[in-house]
A and B are shown apart, each in its own frame.
Chain A
Amino acid sequence: MLMNEILYFFAGHVGTALGTLSSVISLILTVIIFINVKNIRKYYAFTARVPELSERIASNSSLLNNHLNSYNGMTVPIRTLLAETEVLLVSLSKNVDGSLKKDASYLIKNIKTINASSDSFIVRVLSVLHKNRRIDINSQKMLLENIYISLCKISATCNAKHEDDRWER
């Protein structure tokens, strides 16, 4: 009788310990699988979407470059182009991470700023009143040139990352 009780006592504790241990192991495995699945999904999303986005961003940056050749203020085509580029960057930032995501987010902010500033009625009235339209145009042009360079860099980074990924897999 006593022997049976002792065996039952140990079996109970060992059973609990084994149960706890297997729970911890399965939790760890679940986390590992979850991370791997997430990485695989991210890789396929990147491979499928990013090259196309990068191509369109590069194409828009070339168009922006053409507009800058004879820049004379924020015209409707430029603003449309920037709005379209902003959408592409938002989409890109959802599919990448790290410094690329940070760069894309920063550029989105810049595009929003320039589009908002050129749209502001007060800014336009003030520039006309102070006869500093030329200065306003020059500063806008400089901002657009910076946006253009950043777009080129983002596109080049995407292409480089895509090439690297191809070799890593």
Chain B
Amino acid sequence: MTDVTDKTIDAIAKLISLTRQEKLVWSPINPTRFKGGLDETILLSFKVKYTDKILGLYKRRLKTSGLSSHLKNEGLGLLSSYPQAHKLSEEYRGATEVVLEIVDDYENTLWEFPRERILEDLLSVVMYKTSGAGDLIERLIHDSRAEAA
């Protein structure tokens, strides 16, 4: 494994651990307020301040046009007119990805973390903590035990 991937995973795992211990408290933000280019739809977004940096975490769904711009960025713009590209774009439409960024006060991207699958786990922990799902489950179990007693 490359050193960069190794460090990225360690860093994100640390964020997961801090979030789980509630040393990092993420706040949800209105997805439409956060950001979203023409090629993407923001489904969920959170931000948190860690030391002097603001971290933004969001889940986005890529739109169909995302494929053609992706191909253009890769220098394969002509391919977007091929039938196979349309088939690919169908697959692309449903694709979602989780992005972790360092943002400024106006939520502009300063730096984006490399895309790793562990980001989905971070989002899962953030959602669990932010929603208070753990407390709700504990309360429900406690109530049902109290009723049984």
Contact residues of A with B, CB < 8 Å?
58, 61-62, 65-66, 68-70, 99, 145, 148-149, 152-153, 155-157, 160
Within 8 Å of chain A (Cβ to Cβ): is B87? no
State in angstroms the CA–CA spacing of A7 and B16 once bound together.
85
| Cβ-Cβ contact count across A and B, 8 Å cutoff | 50
Contact in complex: A157, B118 (CB < 8 Å): no
Q: In the assembly, what is the distance between CA of A68 and CA of B17, in Å?
A: 10
Q: What is the bound-complex CA distance between A163 and B13, given in angstroms?
A: 24
25 CB-based A-B contacts, threshold 8 Å? A58-B117, A62-B120, A62-B121, A65-B16, A65-B121, A65-B124, A65-B125, A66-B124, A66-B128, A69-B128, A69-B129, A69-B134, A70-B134, A70-B137, A149-B10, A149-B13, A152-B13, A152-B116, A152-B117, A153-B6, A156-B116, A156-B118, A157-B5, A160-B1, A160-B2
Among B1, B124, B129, the one with the most A-chain Cβ atoms within 10 Å of its Cβ is B1
Closest 7 CB pairs of A and B: A157-B1, A65-B121, A149-B13, A152-B118, A69-B128, A152-B9, A70-B134
Tell whether A156 pairs with B10 under 8 Å between CB atoms, given A65-B125, A69-B125, A69-B134: no
Interface size on B, residues (CB 8 A): 22
| CB contact between A153 and one of B1, B16, B20, B121 (< 8 Å): that residue | B1
Complex Cα gap A110–B16 (Å):
21
Which one of B117, B125, B138 contacts A156 once the chains associate, using CB atoms below 8 Å? B117
Within the complex, the shortest CB–CB distance from B127 to chain A, in Å, comes to 10
Complex interface: chain A residues within 8 A of B17 (CB): 145
Given the known interface contacts A156-B116, A160-B1, the answer about A145 and B121 at a Cβ–Cβ threshold of 8 Å is no
A62-B121, A69-B134, A152-B117 are known; give 10 further A-B pairs, CB within 8 A: A62-B117, A65-B124, A66-B124, A69-B128, A145-B17, A149-B10, A152-B116, A153-B5, A156-B117, A160-B5
Nearest A residue to B5 by beta-carbon distance? A156
A148 to B138, CA, bound (A): 24
Q: Which residues of A contact B1 (CB under 8 A)?
A: 99, 153, 156-157, 160
CB interface residues, B 14-33, toward A, < 8 Å: 16-17, 20
Min CB–CB distance B72 → chain A (angstroms): 22
Q: Closest CB of chain A to B10's CB: distance in Å? A: 7
Of A66, A69, A70, the most chain B CB neighbours within 10 A belong to A69
- Whether B9 and A153, one on each chain, are in contact in the complex, defined by CB atoms closer than 8 angstroms, is yes
Q: Once the chains are docked, how many angstroms separate the CA of A65 from the CA of B116?
A: 15
**Of A62, A99, A152, A153, which one neighbours B124 at CB under 8 angstroms?**
A62
In angstroms, how far is the closest chain A Cβ from the Cβ of B91? 17
Give the distance in Å from the alpha carbon of A70 to the alpha carbon of B117 in the complex: 21
Q: Which of B75-125 contact A (CB under 8 A)?
A: 116-118, 120-121, 124-125
Shortest B87–chain A CB gap in Å is 20
Question: Which residues of B are found within 8 Å of A58, using beta-carbon distances?
Answer: 117
Of chain B, the residue at the smallest CB distance from A156 is B5
Give min CB distance, B124 to chain A, whole Å: 7
